[in-house]
Amino acid sequence: MRRFRPDVGERDVTPESLWLRRREFLALGAAGAAGLVLPRPARAGEPTGAALQIARRVEQAGGEDPTPWDSVTTYNNYYELGTEKGDPSRNAGTLRPRPWSVAIEGEVARPGTVGIDELLRWFPLEERVYRMRCVEAWSMVIPWVGFPLAALVKRVEPTSRAKYVAFRTLQDPEQLPGQRRAVLPWPYVEGLRIDEATHPLALIAVGLYGRVLPGQNGAPLRLVVPWKYGFKGAKSLVSIRFQKERPKTTWNEAQPSEYGFWANVNPDVDHPRWSQARERRIGEFFRRKTLPFNGYAAEVASLYTGMDLRREY
């Protein structure tokens, strides 16, 4: 009988730590092979929260499937509630959407402060299904509930000196603990030119999937401008100010070379650190081509004729 001679040496022995975690390593391999990196299928994540009364429905996302409620309400950029995507949904408990009032200020014939519940009675609510494209190159399709910003603008009668509209988020570190760190120069401010604010697509959203807007999505009311990058959609609004000068917007102030005032979705104008030509639709595996003005070019391109969109980004 031949003497058994091992052909493996001490050195070839799998390190114990690796051996103890072998199942994880195998799972990773198998998962990769089986394509388990595909996002999990839309669970029956039922929307929660009080139902809103909706007068009419407008589908404006080319008939594409809306992003599941779970994703829309747990994958958020709302740095006032934490800078990781999962933070806002975890930390939204401190935000108190009642009592809440919004100040309508500046160059308007009818300024004033209005309580949110009264504001909700000013206009019938609509469901608007819009694409939403984040500057980080991911996107969703979201069925917002709200009323056209144009209706609000018309009601408050801006004067001829009102060239821009500024939107300001709540400043209160107790409700928005992320404001304790100067990650961005709080409070969050965004703005629109007056013709953008009166465009039929611009929306003040108070709900989502037929329910009251969750904290992490900007309760109790937020701006939605579907042809611009998502950071234009200021959340938890406390002030809407009409003014002559262009407002200093927060991301532009924080990183002017990367975030502009206009922020129109444009596949031809890259972010300095990444390309804007393609985006990941949440729920899909492969990236898709980004469309000019997020697919709303037919409706809004005329607002920008004559503007060099590479310079005015």
Partner 1 sequence: MADLALGRLGANPIEAILNRLGFWTLTLLAASLVPTPARSLLGLSWPIRLRRMLGLFAFTYGTLHLLFYVGVDQGLDVALLAKDVAKRKFMTVGFAAWLTLVPLAVTSTDAWVRRLGFARWKRLHRLVYLAAILGVLHFVWRVKADLSRPLVHASVIGLLLAVRLLPARRARRASHPSAAA
Of the candidates 127, 134, 138, 147, the residue with the CA atom closest to the CA atom of residue 47:
127
Dihedrals phi, psi of 4, to nearest 5 degrees = -70, 120
Least separation in angstroms between CB 158 and partner 1: 32
Least separation in angstroms between CB 273 and partner 1: 5
Q: By the criterion CB under 8 A, which residues form the site for partner 1?
A: 11, 15, 17-18, 24-25, 27-28, 31, 36-40, 67, 70-71, 74-75, 79, 83, 85-86, 136, 138, 181, 183-184, 254-255, 272-275, 280, 282-283, 285-287
DSSP letters for 47-73? --S-B---SEEEEESTTPPPPPHHHHH
Locate 268 and state its tokens: 């031809």
User: For partner 1, which is the closer residue by CB, 31 or 55?
Assistant: 31
User: Can you tell me which residue has the tokens 């519940």?
Assistant: 117
User: For partner 1, which is the closer residue by CB, 83 or 101?
Assistant: 83
Of the candidates 135, 98, 287, 110, the residue with the CA atom closest to the CA atom of residue 225:
135
CB 173, CB 180: distance < 8 Å: yes
User: For partner 1, which is the closer residue by CB, 111 or 260?
Assistant: 260
Least separation in angstroms between CB 171 and partner 1: 17
CB 81, CB 184: distance < 8 Å: no
Least separation in angstroms between CB 301 and partner 1: 27
User: For partner 1, which is the closer residue by CB, 46 or 245?
Assistant: 46
Least separation in angstroms between CB 289 and partner 1: 12
Of the candidates 142, 146, 178, 162, the residue with the CA atom closest to the CA atom of residue 250:
178
Least separation in angstroms between CB 286 and partner 1: 6
User: For partner 1, which is the closer residue by CB, 18 or 20?
Assistant: 18
Least separation in angstroms between CB 82 and partner 1: 9
Least separation in angstroms between CB 138 and partner 1: 6
> CB-side exposure of 263: number of CA atoms within 13 Å?
30
- 106 bridge partner residues: 242
User: For partner 1, which is the closer residue by CB, 11 or 56?
Assistant: 11
Sequence-distant contacts of 89-95: CB under 8 A, at least 24 apart = 89/214, 89/216, 91/177, 91/178, 91/216, 92/214, 92/215, 92/216, 92/219, 93/215, 94/174, 94/175, 94/176, 94/177, 95/170, 95/175, 95/176, 95/215, 95/219, 95/236
User: For partner 1, which is the closer residue by CB, 199 or 281?
Assistant: 281
